[in-house]
């Protein structure tokens, strides 16, 4: 089956579910055994079947199979949040004294997790631009066991060359984890490029309807993913509820058509923003002015639905602009049907010290917009009236 068909059918055989068309919601915490001996066999792993929903649930299983197929992995696990996926894979891959090499920008709470690791467990990390083989090699330490990458980087839209990073990591036996939230498997497939694990905040494009918080982890090696299921995921316990898995299955069915429209709207908004005198810079991976379009085109099939832009006049003008919007909602999160906009310096990246934030390229006038699925003319009209009102 092709990817667009798998989104809809993978992992679901109606005959296994009373001929239901859609995946039934198994809203149950536990499963009953027909006999004491059957319970023993299930615990021993000698017989397939339900035990307890923290270890597996039929609704959740379908979502795992679907995500495994979409990312081209050997196994998948879903979680109660994107951060549960991040923490589970990092707990699995590291021990005290290890070092994690990270891309120069990371999701804010991933930074928070890394500082807990540092302070409580002596697991270290450092950041690198990863712009050349030499730069990556110089940043790798004797105790580096994981390279953890986001691309595009939030909110600066800088890219990390996944081909280069996975090649250098492979030579040294270092595992590579990619947070693929910004792209979804529809635009970028890190496992096929050479990464060992890919994860998502399923809260964003995978679910796509702004009503669930969840995470996904897909790995190449089926046995290793099973070991994670039966250790860190089971014992740290950051699992998803069956109902949330059911909602994501529903959302996923339209991922391909949604992504097409997100991308189309984003491209038109980029063209529009490039004509606005109040905008200093537009940051979008497939925009001709982006310095890394060659990398973008090598590893992404389209530029995505997220745009950052820098408005002249810093925080004051940025806030005036947000307050002038009428249709576009001011909110963090991304990948929803509604177009959302936020001000990273005072919102998602307000915890980053000013000096570090400016060094990362997040200037005071930066805004990050997640293009929704509305009619493009309404979106441009709203931006246009907001720019006019702050003149
Ligand atoms: C939202 C997000 C996360 C965290 O996911 P939650 O579902 O909010 O826990 C991690 N990485 C990226 C890039 C995100 O956008």
Contact 197, 77 (CB under 8 A): no
- List alpha helices for the chain, DSSP H: 3-9, 36-43, 58-71, 82-93, 108-116, 133-139, 162-172, 184-187, 190-193, 222-228, 234-236, 242-252, 255-273, 293-299, 314-324, 354-359, 376-389
Question: Which of 61, 161, 179, 287 is an active site residue?
Answer: 179
What is the structure's pLDDT at 339? 98
Measured at the CA of 336, the angle between CA 8 and CA 153, to 5 degrees, comes to: 100
Residues 107 and 209 in one domain: yes
What is the structure's pLDDT at 352? 82
What is the structure's pLDDT at 356? 84
Ligand 1 binding pocket includes 87 (Cβ within 6 Å): no
Sign of CA dihedral 291, 109, 338, 279: negative
Centroid of chain to Cα 336: 13
Mutate to test the pocket of ligand 1, among 78, 108, 150, 181 (most ligand atoms within 8 A of CB): 181
Residue 71, classed as helix, strand or coil, is helix
Can you tell me the distance from the alpha carbon of 204 to that of 10, in angstroms, rounded to the nearest whole number? 21
Residues 9 and 29 in one domain: yes
Å from CA of 278 to ligand 1 middle: 30
Residues 97 and 178 in one domain: yes
Among 193, 228, 252, the domain-final residue is 252
Among 232, 252, 272, the domain-final residue is 252
Q: What is the dihedral angle through the alpha carbons of 308, 310, 315, 320, rounded to the nearest 10 degrees? A: -80
Å from CA of 151 to ligand 1 middle: 13
Ligand 1 binding pocket includes 88 (Cβ within 6 Å): no
Residues 298 and 329 in one domain: yes
Å from CA of 202 to ligand 1 middle: 8
Give the residue numbers spanning the domain of 19: 3-252
Q: Which atom of ligand 1 is nearest to the CA of 84?
A: 9
Residues 285 and 216 in one domain: no
Mutate to test the pocket of ligand 1, among 78, 80, 83, 336 (most ligand atoms within 8 A of CB): 83
Å from CA of 28 to ligand 1 middle: 27
Q: pLDDT averaged over consecutive 10-residue blocks of the chain (391 residues)? A: 93 96 98 98 95 96 97 98 98 98 92 95 96 98 98 96 98 98 97 98 98 98 97 97 98 98 98 98 97 97 98 98 98 98 95 85 96 98 97 87
Å from CA of 31 to ligand 1 middle: 32
CATH code of the domain containing 307: 3.90.1150.10
Q: What are phi and psi of 198, to 5 degrees?
A: -130, 140
Residues 168 and 269 in one domain: no
Cβ neighbours, 10 Å, residue 288: 8
Would residue 179 show up in a list of annotated catalytic residues for this protein?
Answer: yes
Would residue 272 show up in a list of annotated catalytic residues for this protein?
Answer: no
Residues 247 and 276 in one domain: no
Q: What are phi and psi of 25, to 5 degrees?
A: -90, 110
Q: Which atom of ligand 1 is nearest to the CA of 85?
A: 9
Residues 243 and 281 in one domain: no
Among 210, 235, 252, the domain-final residue is 252
Count how many domains the chain has: 2
């Amino acid at each position: 089956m092709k990817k667009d068909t798998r989104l809809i059918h993978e992992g679901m055989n109606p005959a296994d579910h009373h001929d239901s068309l859609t995946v039934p919601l198994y809203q149950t915490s536990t499963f009953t055994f027909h006999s004491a001996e059957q319970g023993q066999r299930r615990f021993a792993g000698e017989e397939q079947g339900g035990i307890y929903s923290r270890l597996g649930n039929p609704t959740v299983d379908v979502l795992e199979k679907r995500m495994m197929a979409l990312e081209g992995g050997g196994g998948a696990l879903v979680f109660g949040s994107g951060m549960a996926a991040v923490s589970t894979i990092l707990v699995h891959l590291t021990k005290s004294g290890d070092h994690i090499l990270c891309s120069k920008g990371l999701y804010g709470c991933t930074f928070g997790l890394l500082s807990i690791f540092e302070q409580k467990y002596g697991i270290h990390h450092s950041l690198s631009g990863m712009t050349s083989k030499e730069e990556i090699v110089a940043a790798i330490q004797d105790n580096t066991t994981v390279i953890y990458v986001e691309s595009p980087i939030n909110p600066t839209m800088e890219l990390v060359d996944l081909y280069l990073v996975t090649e250098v990591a492979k030579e040294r036996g270092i595992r590579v984890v990619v947070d693929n939230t910004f792209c979804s498997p529809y635009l970028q497939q890190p496992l096929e490029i050479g990464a060992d694990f890919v994860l998502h905040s399923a809260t964003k494009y995978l679910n796509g309807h702004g009503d669930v918080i969840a995470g996904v982890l897909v790995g190449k090696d089926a046995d290793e993913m099973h070991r994670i299921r039966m250790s860190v995921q089971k014992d740290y316990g950051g699992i998803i509820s069956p109902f949330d898995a059911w909602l994501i299955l529903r959302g996923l069915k339209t991922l391909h058509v949604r992504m097409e429209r997100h991308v189309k709207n984003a491209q038109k908004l980029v063209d529009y923003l490039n004509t606005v005198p109040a905008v200093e810079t537009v940051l979008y991976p497939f925009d001709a002015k982006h310095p890394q379009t060659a990398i973008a085109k090598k590893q992404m099939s389209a530029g995505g639905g997220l745009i950052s832009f820098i408005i002249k006049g810093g925080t004051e003008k940025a806030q005036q602009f947000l307050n002038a919007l009428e249709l576009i909602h001011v909110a963090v999160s991304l990948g929803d049907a509604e177009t959302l906009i936020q001000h990273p310096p005072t919102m998602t990246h307000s915890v980053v010290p000013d000096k570090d934030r400016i060094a990362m390229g997040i200037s005071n006038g930066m805004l990050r917009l997640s293009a929704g699925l509305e009619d493009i003319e309404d979106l441009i009209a709203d931006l246009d009236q907001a720019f006019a009102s702050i003149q």
